[in-house]
């Protein structure tokens, strides 16, 4: 498997080399030597060259761009050119267009050279391949170590009989929580400002009434094992959940349905347990998420709906947008021009949010805290690392997989950032002072953007509350910035196109390679785009650059002559017969009552071909289909791709 992948990755890499040589004809001979150097290293280290070694070289360049000078790392392919020239032999021609011979960053550093260097080193960073088993074991162990390093949560989180008024959450200025570093004095103004910001957040969110918001199931797995499992039949609705979300009111579409299902939808005294799942991320390691109990996920989605709706309609929506990364991306580009904005990234961000921090943060919203306690899964089961306990009672607030983890962590990081910026400027948190920070502070998950003058204070504040700043992915010096999938240098988009998988005959890989080929074409890497196109089946249409139809994008005249054409007399338009990819869902039917509950929950439009049942599997199909000529030439109504920043 790896040998096949190495060959395919080598072909793509050589195509990128040819594109670079066409952009820099004077470097053709040197780039050919770089190809030989890479091939020799491949013989010794195999696929790690593309998945580990080259990405490390690319990330080192990012750090050097930020620092303003090239430093020699201890990495493969970075041996210096000679005694006089500090930059390495490998990709040395591109290096010398970015740095001078002694390693200083050129004032006129070639933007295109930066892009090609990053493209050549980072193109396979997100290649889809199973990571080695030892990386999974290490990731689970790291999760356990991180969780055990956090302070013990207060009894409020495990005892539903304790009201918020008796929880002991007195606010940050009262120091009623365990700080990460008791040895250094924490700025009192920071804690006071954090109290004021948390009060603003609570006031902005407003009262939480579950009946006003939508209950639904999430799209992912639940902790109950997969198979013939009906998500609309409850088997573990806990007593804690019942206190905030009565099953008769929120677990069924009617009281008569609850009366009929009371034998299965009973209240359980057991504490629901989540299940740890390793999701492929990169060769370096997996992403760990927790599949939540179905009863918890049902109610968590209700909380998510409440938070998203309320935040978007208040001043908080100017700083954080849960479904839109463009604000962070735009500010990232702006920061790369002026240097006035810093981008901060956190390591294991959601794993470091403590329950008591959330308790102090939302103490003014006892209704929300009660709901968070009721839907928080406290116990995590895992069978990935046999050396560790199969059950872990979590000290962190929640895991990835919980529906409201993302909005909660975003609001937490936003509040710390605002409080720290204001305290650095010796300002008190008021509505007016916070409003003045619009356009200077922005958060999307653990991607944080703050003013450069306050960056050190923000970093210190994050560390005080147990968060770990990922220095390798945070940038505040120079003109390089990275946030939310956008890499920018002096206002230019230098984000590489990531090659994720080769075509293996499956519809999913067909869709992926067409998309990547189009992205290479959009960045004028025409050799690479053409090669990827040549690996795919024929009879795929050419489409306009602004079209949303499936096919190969082109800036020139559409050449679809080989494809069959017909006039559809029912739709009164011409159509072509092209290969497309469709998603198909296989559902297993449920009984009538569950079907009715699902219908009221999903509320399909009358024109939708809706079917009840739980999804057993979803797969994609590749087939020949008639596509309207108007669809291949007209502008798309929507697109999932990141817009151009140039």
Domain assignments of the chain as residue spans, ordered by start: 2-125, 154-269+294-378+396-477, 507-633
For residue range 258-299, list pLDDT tens digits in order. Answer: 888 776 666 777 788 999 999 888 888 899 999 999 999 999
For residue range 63-119, list pLDDT tens digits in order. Answer: 999 999 999 898 988 888 877 888 899 999 999 999 999 999 999 999 999 999 999
**Confidence class of residue 646 from pLDDT cuts 50, 70 and 90?**
very low
Mean pLDDT of 345-356: 93
**Confidence class of residue 336 from pLDDT cuts 50, 70 and 90?**
very high
Q: What is the pLDDT of residue 644?
A: 38
Q: Which two tokens stand for residue 459?
A: 């970093």
What are phi and psi for residue 636, nearest 5 degrees?
-70, 145
Residue 429 has pLDDT above 90, yes or no: yes
Is 352 within 8 Å of 408 (Cβ atoms)?
no
Q: Distance (Å, rounded) from C-alpha 227 to C-alpha 484?
A: 35
For residue range 445-467, list pLDDT tens digits in order. Answer: 999 999 999 999 999 999 989 89
Q: Distance (Å, rounded) from C-alpha 38 to C-alpha 457?
A: 43
What are phi and psi for residue 566, nearest 5 degrees?
-145, 160
Residues of the chain above pLDDT 90, percent: 72
Residue 180 has pLDDT above 70, yes or no: no
Residue 5: which of 44, 32, 42 has the closest Cα?
42
Q: Which two tokens stand for residue 548?
A: 């949303």
Q: Burial, 129: exposed, middle or buried (Cβ in 10 Å; 0-12, 13-18, 19+)?
A: middle
Higher pLDDT, 186 or 301: 301
Q: Which two tokens stand for residue 220?
A: 């992912």
What are phi and psi for residue 98, nearest 5 degrees?
-110, -40
Q: What is the pLDDT of residue 226?
A: 60
Q: What is the pLDDT of residue 397?
A: 96
Residue 631 has pLDDT above 60, yes or no: yes
Higher pLDDT, 421 or 558: 421
Listed in sequence order, the DSSP H helices in 206-293 are 239-244, 247-250, 255-261
For residue range 310-333, list pLDDT tens digits in order. Answer: 999 999 999 999 999 999 999 999
List the single range of 139-148, 330-339, 461-470, 601-610 with lowest mean pLDDT.
Answer: 601-610
Q: What is the pLDDT of residue 225?
A: 67
Residue 385 has pLDDT above 60, yes or no: yes
**Confidence class of residue 221 from pLDDT cuts 50, 70 and 90?**
confident
Task: Look over the chain and give the mean of its residue pLDDT values, rounded to a whole number.
Answer: 90
For residue range 390-405, list pLDDT tens digits in order. Answer: 999 999 999 999 999 9
Residues of the chain above pLDDT 70, percent: 95
Is 470 within 8 Å of 347 (Cβ atoms)?
yes
**Confidence class of residue 179 from pLDDT cuts 50, 70 and 90?**
low
């Amino acid at each position: 498997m790896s040998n096949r992948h190495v060959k395919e990755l080598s072909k793509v890499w050589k195509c990128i080399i040819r594109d670079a040589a066409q952009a820099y004809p004077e470097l053709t001979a040197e780039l050919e030597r770089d190809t030989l150097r890479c091939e020799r290293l491949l013989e010794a280290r195999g696929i790690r060259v593309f998945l580990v070694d080259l990405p490390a070289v690319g990330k080192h360049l990012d750090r050097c761009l930020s620092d303003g000078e090239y430093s020699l790392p201890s990495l493969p392919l970075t041996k210096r050119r000679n005694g006089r020239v500090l930059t390495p032999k490998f990709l040395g021609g591109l290096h010398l267009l970015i740095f001078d011979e002694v390693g200083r960053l050129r004032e006129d550093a070639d933007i295109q050279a930066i892009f090609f260097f990053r493209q050549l080193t980072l193109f396979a960073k997100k290649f889809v391949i199973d990571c080695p088993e030892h990386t999974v074991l290490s990731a689970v162990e790291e999760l356990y170590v991180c969780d055990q390093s956090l302070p013990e949560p207060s009894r409020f989180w495990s005892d539903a009989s304790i009201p918020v008024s008796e929880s002991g959450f007195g606010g940050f200025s009262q120091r009623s929580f365990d700080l990460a570093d008791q040895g250094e004095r924490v700025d009192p103004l920071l804690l006071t400002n954090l109290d004021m910001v948390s009060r603003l957040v609570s006031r902005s969110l407003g009262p939480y009434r579950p009946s006003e918001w939508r209950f639904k199931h999430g799209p992912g797995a639940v902790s109950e094992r997969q198979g013939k499992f009906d998500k609309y039949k409850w088997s573990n609705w806990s007593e804690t959940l019942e206190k905030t979300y009565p099953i008769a009111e929120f677990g069924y579409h009617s009281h008569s349905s609850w009366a009929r299902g009371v034998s299965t939808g009973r209240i359980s005294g057991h504490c629901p347990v989540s299940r740890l799942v390793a999701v492929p991320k990169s060769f370096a390691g997996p992403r760990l998420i927790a599949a939540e109990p179905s009863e918890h996920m049902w109610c968590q989605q209700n909380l998510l709906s409440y938070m998203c709706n309320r935040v978007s309609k208040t001043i908080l929506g100017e700083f954080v947008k849960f479904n839109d990364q463009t604000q962070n991306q735009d500010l990232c580009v702006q920061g790369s021009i002026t240097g006035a904005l810093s981008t901060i990234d956190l390591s294991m961000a959601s794993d470091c949010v403590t329950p008591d921090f959330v308790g102090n943060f939302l103490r003014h919203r006892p209704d929300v805290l009660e709901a968070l306690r009721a839907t928080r899964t406290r116990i995590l089961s895992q069978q990935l690392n046999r050396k560790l306990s199969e059950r872990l009672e979590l000290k962190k607030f929640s895991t990835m997989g919980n529906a409201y983890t993302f909005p909660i962590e975003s609001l937490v990081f936003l509040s710390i950032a605002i409080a720290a910026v204001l305290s650095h400027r010796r300002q008190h948190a008021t509505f007016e002072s916070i409003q003045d920070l619009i356009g200077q502070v922005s958060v999307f998950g653990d991607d944080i953007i703050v003013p450069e003058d306050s960056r050190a204070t923000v970093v210190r504040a994050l560390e005080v509350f147990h968060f770990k700043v990922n220095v390798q992915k945070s940038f505040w010096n120079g003109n390089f910035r990275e946030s939310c999938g956008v890499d920018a240098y002096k206002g230019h988009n230098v984000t590489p196109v990531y090659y994720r998988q080769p075509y293996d005959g499956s519809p999913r890989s067909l869709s992926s390679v067409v998309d990547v080929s189009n992205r290479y074409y959009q960045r004028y890497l025409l050799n690479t785009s053409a090669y990827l196109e040549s690996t795919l089946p024929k009879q795929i249409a050419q489409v306009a650059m602004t079209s949303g139809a499936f096919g190969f994008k082109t800036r020139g005249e559409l050449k679809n002559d080989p494809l069959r054409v017909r006039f559809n007399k029912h739709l009164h338009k011409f159509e072509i017969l092209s290969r497309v990819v469709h998603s198909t869902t296989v559902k297993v039917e449920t009984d009538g009552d569950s079907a009715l509950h699902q219908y009221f929950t999903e509320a399909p439009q009358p024109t939708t071909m809706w079917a009840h049942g739980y999804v057993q599997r979803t797969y994609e199909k590749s087939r020949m289909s008639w596509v309207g000529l108007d669809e291949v030439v007209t502008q798309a109504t929507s697109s999932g791709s990141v817009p151009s920043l140039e």
